[in-house]
Amino acid sequence: MCGRYTLTSPLEALKELFGFLERPNLEPRANIAPTQEVLVVRLGEDGERHAASLRWGLLPPWAVDRRVGARLINARAEGVTRQPAFRKAFAARRCLVAADGFYEWQAQEGGKQPYRICRQDGGPFAFAGLWERWHDPAAPKEAPVESCTILTTEANALLRPIHQRMPVILPAEAHGAWLAPDSAAEDLQALLRPLEPEGWIAYPVSRRVNKVANDDLALLAPAEPMQQRSLL
């Protein structure tokens, strides 16, 4: 799964990778958590890529209240075309979720050890995401809530010793196909696979990341002693 991640990259690096038009006011975030607002990129009606701030935790149209979203922060790639919460969004509302690292927890003696996984060069990347627009049935006159979820798949060789699953990470050359409204379902499914681990690293970080209130750049520092895993 993916339950926490980071986005600390400069705006210009994000614009270069994703090609969106806006200049959102972004603060570095080292501990992004479910139900918070997150940066996504999606196609607009003009056919251009646009940055948007969405609530993390998908609210399907049939959700009775916002609490549903906290249970839908991830969507398993293997069943995304069949699950009622995700299948319509998979068909018509796909997005890129901007990140530059994510956390997974490894069970160890004495508790779970968090690891940060990121590109070796520290650059940004995209999770495969879905989004929805939800109207609160208890407040029909309020503006709709836009929310998103992150797709997950089985772990690659780098992640497997830490956790059995990982987010779907799309290489830059696949961004266009993921966003395109006319992409065939079978072509989209082919993108939902574990990323090749070369050029990525996983390293232990402080257990301070366990607490959502902690969101400072010190969380990115390797824990001591450094036990870095790398496939180069």
Per-residue model confidence as pLDDT tens digits over 154-190: 999 999 999 999 999 999 999 999 999 999 999 999 9
Query: Is the link from the previous residue into 225 a cis peptide, with omega within 30 of 0?
Result: yes
Residues 6+ apart with CB under 8 A from 70: 34, 35, 57
The count of C-alpha atoms lying within 13 angstroms of the C-alpha of 201, restricted to the half-sphere facing its C-beta, is: 16
Give the pLDDT of residue 124: 98
Catalytic residue among 27, 48, 95, 104: 104
Catalytic residue among 2, 95, 118, 148: 2
Query: Helix or strand or coil: residue 71?
Result: helix
Give the pLDDT of residue 14: 98
Give the pLDDT of residue 25: 93
Give the pLDDT of residue 232: 36
DSSP single-letter state for residue 14: H
Give the pLDDT of residue 225: 47
Residues of the chain with pLDDT under 70: 225-232
Asked about 2 being catalytic, the answer comes back as yes
Exposed, middle or buried: residue 154 (CB in 10 Å: 0-12, 13-18, 19+)? middle
Asked about 12 being catalytic, the answer comes back as no
How many CB atoms are closer than 10 A to CB 113? 18
The residues pairing with 129 across neighbouring beta strands, listed in sequence order, are 95, 150
The residues pairing with 99 across neighbouring beta strands, listed in sequence order, are 125
Q: Are 4 and 29 in contact (CB under 8 A)?
A: no
Give the pLDDT of residue 140: 82
How many CB atoms are closer than 10 A to CB 6? 24
Q: Are 102 and 2 in contact (CB under 8 A)?
A: yes
